[in-house]
Structure 1
């Protein structure tokens, strides 16, 4: 299905590239049939190997038509001109894209002098955090692949079917690769920077859906992608290393332990409210908000605990702590934080899926992203004492980066949020009327009972 101009000739190579040629109506010869001219046999694979679109196919087709002419010198010049124009058009697009990316990356560095404070490991960690969103694409591919497969179990025949499916296999590979990139990012990048980057995985998802699934995106979607991508770049260029002179590892562990102890009753309170809302047949917007808050809180707190445990085992943390018995206690606390982070992260799909049963996926995902981002920033800056840019311009860019990512997530779901607020406003305007009507009915029934009380006593 690489060429839309099919040749009716029975020996044409197009018949091998499209199985639907037999059901199509005969069309004019496309000029790519090798039986017309011996000179075309070497050029027939160009449009199939070069996936440049209609422009490339038209250029090659017109080139082959030119070769049939008698003036070989003129045809050769026309071939060179067409090939040069094609390469120039494609090269200019690639050059423009590279120029835009380099400008967005290096302009904040030059304006803020952040290249003097930033380090290569932190930039590498930011890139790992962005690539960790490959797991979202992997989950989508796995969902597509299991549609024609039986339910997964430990039987050999079923496992062979899953492994033999290329879509499911590629999805599993991307999912595992994203998880590895995420763990690598948590060991390098501060959680206040890594968590916002984790939340804008819609950039890779949108690009994948546009280029691979051929889905059309509107202006609002592209605006959201641009905002999130710009915020990610600003976060990457404003990374600064930790100042160990103002860091107390023991105090960080104490604060993190207190936050973990407070997170448990907070999750329990949200669970009680969610159950009451479900039993009382409350509006589904309340259930969506509570489910998104529960899942987002689990992600933010879990990633903070996991990042602290992984970073605590690094050489810089152990060197700052010194030698002695405190090192073993420090490593024991790091292991406990890793276990708590894994368990807390594993709880967020439970709360999210319970909300998906009664609520809308888009709103729950939006609440989850916003709450997890806010929780991650709070945990990193306040609890873990992560480094904040000291220079005013870099600090301003860090705030702008958070605002861009926050705005990008909101812009992507703005249509649903606007419909939700309009519905909530209409319901709130009807509530006073219903209450006044109920109060009038209650007063009327009370008056009727008072009027009928003497007759009731007389009859008694």
Structure 2
């Protein structure tokens, strides 16, 4: 239960940071992954974006800690759904109009969290802390190569925000796997005793690489669209990837009893439903805004 609560709180902090970043990006000059130095100058020269980035980083640190406390099949969907929930609550606080689908997502997410919590039994709540290292390194290398090759094939300037968000989700999923490796060392050795093992492991360095690739793709896609379009695309892809790959790589057992297993699966599916509802509703809103802008432009 501690890991689930930590993941939810981390998601809320991350979601607030995401909103601050988005507002800062929409007021800055255009960026693109084909101009990495310009992208870095625009991002790191923007104090508001940096403030949002600090909040998002704190949320990410909380996720790493929670991954060492509970199974990835509980922590990861809780974090992903919590981000969508936070974005919707912030929209309500800013008196933005939300759709019926988004209202349904607000009602579904607490149910999903309850099911995930009920699936945690004393025998099934342990988190895997030691990965199969060769498999982890292979999955990481192949996934990051696929992200880079896929975006290059479609062209960085022509790729849709949803596609780039999905690629960002895969890269961030790689970071999540190595974050779980760090969280496992923290859980096994304690905060201070884990410092040397963490630095001697490949986890922090591949975490940074996955994070850098993911953030370049994510920030570019978020500037092209609303965070509530980009974030769900990244969340769905990254969530499924991290849960499936993490469960295998860290050899985490699923609940052994039928009822907790069903509750875990339903909770996971409901969190995906939440982000899908937000994605669909936001995509429709974005398309309608585009039509209105096109209609308002003078012809001839």
Q: Same fold (TM over 0.5)?
A: yes
Encode CA deviations 1:233-274: one digit per residue, 9 max, x unaligned: 2112212456799x8x7xx53x34323223323432342332
- Root-mean-square deviation (Å): 4.1
Rounded to whole Å, the distance in 1 between the matches of 2:50 and 2:199 is 37
CA contact (8 A) 2:85 2:109 kept: yes
CA contact (8 A) 2:236 2:272 kept: yes
CA contact (8 A) 1:185 1:194 kept: yes
Q: Structure 1 residues 349, 383: CA separation in 2 closer, same or farther (over 3 Å shift)?
A: same
Rounded to whole Å, the distance in 1 between the matches of 2:105 and 2:262 is 21
2:134 pairs, out of 235, 240, 257, with: 257
Rounded to whole Å, the distance in 2 between the matches of 1:336 and 1:143 is 31
Q: Does 1:135 align with 2:14?
A: yes
1:412 pairs, out of 250, 275, 278, with: 278
Q: Structure 1 residues 143, 334: CA separation in 2 closer, same or farther (over 3 Å shift)?
A: same
Q: Does 1:385 align with 2:272?
A: no
Encode CA deviations 1:18-40: one digit per residue, 9 max, x unaligned: xxxxxxxxxxxxxxxxxxxxxxx
Residue in 2 aligned with 1:209? 91
2:177 pairs, out of 298, 304, 307, with: 304
Q: 1:132 aligns to what SS in structure 2? A: helix
Residue in 1 aligned with 2:168? 295
Residue in 1 aligned with 2:148? 271
Q: CA shift at 1:404, angstroms?
A: 0.7
Encode CA deviations 1:112-139: one digit per residue, 9 max, x unaligned: xxxxxxxxxxx12211101112122134
Q: Structure 1 residues 138, 189: CA separation in 2 closer, same or farther (over 3 Å shift)?
A: same
Encode CA deviations 1:126-159: one digit per residue, 9 max, x unaligned: 11101112122134246658969xx8989xxx9x
TM-score under structure 1 length normalisation: 0.48
Q: Structure 1 residues 362, 231: CA separation in 2 closer, same or farther (over 3 Å shift)?
A: same
Structure whose CA Rg is larger: 1
Q: Structure 1 residues 381, 205: CA separation in 2 closer, same or farther (over 3 Å shift)?
A: same
Q: Does 1:225 align with 2:97?
A: no
Rounded to whole Å, the distance in 1 between the matches of 2:105 and 2:122 is 30
Encode CA deviations 1:370-410: one digit per residue, 9 max, x unaligned: 11111111123222111311111111111111111111111
Residue in 2 aligned with 1:93? none
Residue in 2 aligned with 1:237? 118
Encode CA deviations 1:340-368: one digit per residue, 9 max, x unaligned: 22331232111223445777765543331
- Size of the aligned set, in residue pairs, is 266
Tell me, which stretches of 5 or more residues in structure 2 are unaligned? 29-41, 287-300
Pairing of 1:6-21 with structure 2 (within 5 A): none
TM-score under structure 2 length normalisation: 0.71
Residue in 1 aligned with 2:292? none
Residue in 2 aligned with 1:27? none
Pairing of 1:46-85 with structure 2 (within 5 A): none
CA contact (8 A) 2:21 2:53 kept: yes
Rounded to whole Å, the distance in 2 between the matches of 1:310 and 1:265 is 23
Rounded to whole Å, the distance in 2 between the matches of 1:135 and 1:217 is 21
Tell me, which stretches of 5 or more residues in structure 1 are unaligned? 1-122, 318-326, 421-460
Q: Structure 1 residues 207, 354: CA separation in 2 closer, same or farther (over 3 Å shift)?
A: closer
Structure with more relative contact order (C-alpha pairs < 8 Å, separation 6 or more): 2
Q: 2:155 aligns to what SS in structure 1? A: helix
Q: 2:231 aligns to what SS in structure 1? A: helix
